[in-house]
């Protein structure tokens, strides 16, 4: 049955406007579903769980194991240069390091980290570490929603990590991934498929349902400037150049009419809409989660 394999994960993207679910195995799509998210979002766990259950039923997924991405203004992501050490040692001192780099107390936060460059060139003695922190109650809310939908949430991931997982294999040089959601945009810098840096920007745009749908005014006019700021910040922090050769668009905002031409004109870079597994760009995060 679809999704019955013990290693198959249902990737679930709890978006502001849509709930998307995808399960893949190898090069095959095993399940796919999408429904409108309730206007109350995750603040109403009962409604969100009910819609998620409908998405799972629509997808045909028969397993229980799922993974999602935790996102929002209260989720803090930091990219740190730390002395090289074994991962076990890093994790044992995680709370101490987090207190030094986060603007909030870690007492009620869920912390995690990942070493992004296990063997970097030219950075002897240092390693790039992703530090993530989310309110404990927010993380528990995700678990309750999935349990209410009949799913076992085995992991909470980050949007940048999921997108690098699904698009990374085709990115051979330096590139930018823009994930354009209904409430925010993620600017993600990638080198050779490896996540280097990400920044979340509030955009609050109107999302089209299909390509070519005309939209009204939104805040994407400032996006090229925000991308340049992200590039400048990254270069200043690491002390080296980053020269992207392409921009990949994901998320429902990719359908915005004229957006590709606008970004190409402003950034002087090729613009490509990411359609992993032949699915629409709005399914990119969910697909990357399923590949975890």
For 60-90, write each residue's pLDDT tens digit. Answer: 999 999 999 999 889 999 998 888 888 899 9
Instruction: Answer whether 194's CB lies under 8 Å from 106's CB.
Output: no
Q: Which two tokens stand for residue 35?
A: 């429904």
Higher pLDDT, 203 or 251: 251
Of 266, 231, 285, which is closest to residue 20 (Cα–Cα)? 285
What pLDDT band is residue 217 in, cutting at 50, 70 and 90? very low
String of b and e for 135-170 (b: at least 16 CB within 10 Å)?
beebeebbeebbebbebebeebbbbbbbbbbbbbee
Position 209 pLDDT exceeds 60: no
User: What is the pLDDT of the chain when averaged over all its residues?
Assistant: 89
H-type alpha helices, 102-245: 136-148, 159-167, 223-238
pLDDT at position 5, please?
A: 45
Supply φ then ψ for residue 52, to 5 degrees: -60, -40
pLDDT at position 146, please?
A: 98
Residue-level length of the chain: 292
Q: Which domains does the chain have, with CATH numbers?
A: 76-134 (3.30.1490.300), 170-273 (3.30.420.40)
DSSP state for residue 257 in the 8-state scheme:
T
pLDDT in tens, 265-292: 999 999 999 999 999 999 999 999 999 8
């Amino acid at each position: 049955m679809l999704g019955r394999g013990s290693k198959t994960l249902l990737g679930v993207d709890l978006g502001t406007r849509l709930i998307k679910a995808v399960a893949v195995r190898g090069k095959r799509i095993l399940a796919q579903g999408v429904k409108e998210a309730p206007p109350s979002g995750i603040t109403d766990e009962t409604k969100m769980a009910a819609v998620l259950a409908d998405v799972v039923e629509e997808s045909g997924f028969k397993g229980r194991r799922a993974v999602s991405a935790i996102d929002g203004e209260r989720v803090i992501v930091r990219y740190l240069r730390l002395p090289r050490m074994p991962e076990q040692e890093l994790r044992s001192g995680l709370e101490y390091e987090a207190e030094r780099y986060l603007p909030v107390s870690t007492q009620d936060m869920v912390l995690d980290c990942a070493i992004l460059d296990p063997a970097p060139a030219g950075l002897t003695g240092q390693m790039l570490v992703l530090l993530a922190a989310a309110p404990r109650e927010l993380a528990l809310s995700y678990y309750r929603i999935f349990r209410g939908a009949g799913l076992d949430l085995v992991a909470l991931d980050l949007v940048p990590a999921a997108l690098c997982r699904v698009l990374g294999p085709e990115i051979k040089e330096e590139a930018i991934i823009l994930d354009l959601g209904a409430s925010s945009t993620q600017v993600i810098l990638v080198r050779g498929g490896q996540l280097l840096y990400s920044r979340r920007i509030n955009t609050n745009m109107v999302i089209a349902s299909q390509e070519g749908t005309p939209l009204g005014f939104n805040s994407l006019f400032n996006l090229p400037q925000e991308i340049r700021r992200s590039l400048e910040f990254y270069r200043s922090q690491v002390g080296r150049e980053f020269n992207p050769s392409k921009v990949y668009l994901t998320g429902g905002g990719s359908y915005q009419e004229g957006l590709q031409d606008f970004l190409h004109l402003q950034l002087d870079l090729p613009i490509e809409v990411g359609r992993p597994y032949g699915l629409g760009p709005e399914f990119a995060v969910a697909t990357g989660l399923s590949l975890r």
